[in-house]
Amino acid sequence: MPNLQQFLKQLRTVEIPRLIKQSVSTLNIVCGNESADFDSVACAISYAYFEHAKSAQNVYVPIINIPKEDLMMRRDIMFTLNKLDISQDLLFFREDLMEYNKQFNTINAVIVDHNELPKPTKQLITDVIGIIDHHADKQLYPNANPRIITVTGSCSSLVTNFWSKNLESNKYHEALNDCAPLLISAGLLDTANMKYKVENPDVEAFKHYGDLNIPLFTQFDSAFRELRSAKDNIDGLTVKQLIRKDYKEYDLIPKSLESKKLNFGVTSIVEPVEELFKRFNSKDNFFNSCYKYREEYDLDCLVLLTSWNDPKEGRFRRELIIIPKDGLYDTVENLCNNAPKLELKVLDKESQKFVIYEQFDLSSSRKRIMPYLQDVYSTI
Ligand SMILES: [Mn+2]
């Protein structure tokens, strides 16, 4: 069996050209979500590799659902890929998916770490044939097989556990040994070194990892420290890169058809806005870049979700910053005013431009905030 690096190389240079040459009409892909965080990348690549371990005839192309140039901002992912000697050129991105969409009649996708196709790729994919995910179930694609949607800290744990049950033991262990650095990294980051949001499937997956002979990753404490500092390193990024580093778009659907559907771009950032103002020279500079981004991506509102450990106060903190476009400021501010669960308190605002809230509900990250705001928007 080829190692992970060889597998990826063969896909691009041998397997996909062979399908095209033989005029095969269907391509199978495994697609992570459009934030392309470590979990999504690890799940997509590992799932495809396990399929190959099951049968060399099974061609599944793992897609990282962002433009290729956006990967370098995810320094945690780059860290582990470097250790595996996998360069960006061996991976598959949204550009590749757009190509395959032209070359194949049908694109069937196993989607991992999400359970609804995101806007940017919806029109590129014919059908969803499998789902493994840990987000709230949108009840779509009832015929997907597998269709596993379970609460876990990390979706990577579900991928590991699924294949442990669906692959012969020796094949499973051989393949796991090769993709475990990806799965372990995702698991450690998603659970803060198995201390946070840990559920039974995570515990089960980490039992599998513990026996592997890859000390760089199975010494979990040191691996987590290195990954975390790589992930939080935002030095040298532009505001646009910072926004795109961990980013998702959402449509908020209104209660009545007279109201407007809102297109939100939502990014998670690891520093408070005060630090970002300093980092990008001034508050004005920073916000001007944000306005520019909102225009470029044609958003109704850009939302920044910051979170950090505040050493002065000795606690974890969150902020939520709304930057609505002209004419929608009142609508979005009203939405936040009707979201008591988030415990928002205004820190600073400039009418018709932005509001900076501190968010005292610390348990809600983007994964919970956005479905909640959707609920609120559909009732006001
Ligand atoms: Mn995830």
For the stretch 39-91, pLDDT in tens is 999 999 999 999 999 999 999 999 999 999 999 999 999 999 999 999 999 99
Q: What CATH number was assigned to the domain covering residues 239-378?
A: 3.10.310.20
From residue 127, how far is each of 44, 143, 186, 256 by CA, in Å? 17, 10, 27, 30
Tens digits of pLDDT across the chain (380 residues): 899 999 999 999 999 999 999 999 999 999 999 989 999 999 999 999 999 999 999 999 999 999 999 999 999 999 999 999 999 999 999 999 999 999 999 999 999 999 999 987 899 999 999 999 999 999 999 999 999 999 999 999 999 999 999 999 999 999 999 999 999 999 999 999 999 999 999 999 999 999 899 999 999 999 999 999 999 999 999 999 999 998 999 999 998 877 889 999 999 999 999 999 999 999 999 999 999 999 999 999 999 999 999 999 999 999 999 999 999 999 999 999 999 999 999 999 999 999 999 999 999 999 899 999 999 999 98
What pLDDT, in 10s, does the model give residues 256-305? Answer: 877 889 999 999 999 999 999 999 999 999 999 999 999 999 999 999 99
Say how many Å lie between the CA of residue 374 and the centre of ligand 1.
20
Say how many Å lie between the CA of residue 38 and the centre of ligand 1.
8
Say how many Å lie between the CA of residue 26 and the centre of ligand 1.
27
The confidence score (pLDDT) of residue 211 equals 87
Backbone angles phi, psi at 49, to 5 degrees: -70, -40
Say how many Å lie between the CA of residue 35 and the centre of ligand 1.
9
Say how many Å lie between the CA of residue 20 and the centre of ligand 1.
32
The DSSP H or E segment spanning 348 is strand 344-350
Say how many Å lie between the CA of residue 39 and the centre of ligand 1.
5
| 111 closest CA partner among 162, 74, 64, 59 | 64
Say whether 355 sits in a helix, a strand or coil.
strand
Say how many Å lie between the CA of residue 40 and the centre of ligand 1.
6
Domain boundaries, the chain: 4-232, 239-378
Backbone angles phi, psi at 346, to 5 degrees: -70, 125
Say how many Å lie between the CA of residue 331 and the centre of ligand 1.
30
Say how many Å lie between the CA of residue 155 and the centre of ligand 1.
5
Model-level pTM? 0.86
What is the Cα–Cα distance from 245 to 45, expressed in whole angstroms? 19
| 27 closest CA partner among 127, 138, 162 | 127
The confidence score (pLDDT) of residue 374 equals 96
Say how many Å lie between the CA of residue 229 and the centre of ligand 1.
19
> Tell me, which fold does domain 4-232 have in CATH?
inorganic pyrophosphatase (n-terminal core) (3.90.1640)
Say how many Å lie between the CA of residue 117 and the centre of ligand 1.
15
From residue 250, how far is each of 24, 127, 260, 290, 302 by CA, in Å? 34, 21, 14, 17, 10
Say how many Å lie between the CA of residue 147 and the centre of ligand 1.
16
Tokens representing 79 are: 């860290």
Buried-exposed string 348-370: b where 16+ CB fall within 10 A, e elsewhere: eeeeeebbbbbbebeebebeebb
What is the Cα–Cα distance from 266 to 369, expressed in whole angstroms? 10
Would you say 62 and 47 are in contact if contact means Cβ atoms under 8 Å apart?
A: yes
Tokens representing 119 are: 């806007």
Say how many Å lie between the CA of residue 183 and the centre of ligand 1.
11
Would you say 39 and 113 are in contact if contact means Cβ atoms under 8 Å apart?
A: yes
| 252 closest CA partner among 122, 377, 70, 73 | 377
Residues with CB under 5 A from ligand 1 (ion): 39, 113, 155
Backbone angles phi, psi at 118, to 5 degrees: -80, 155
Say how many Å lie between the CA of residue 182 and the centre of ligand 1.
13
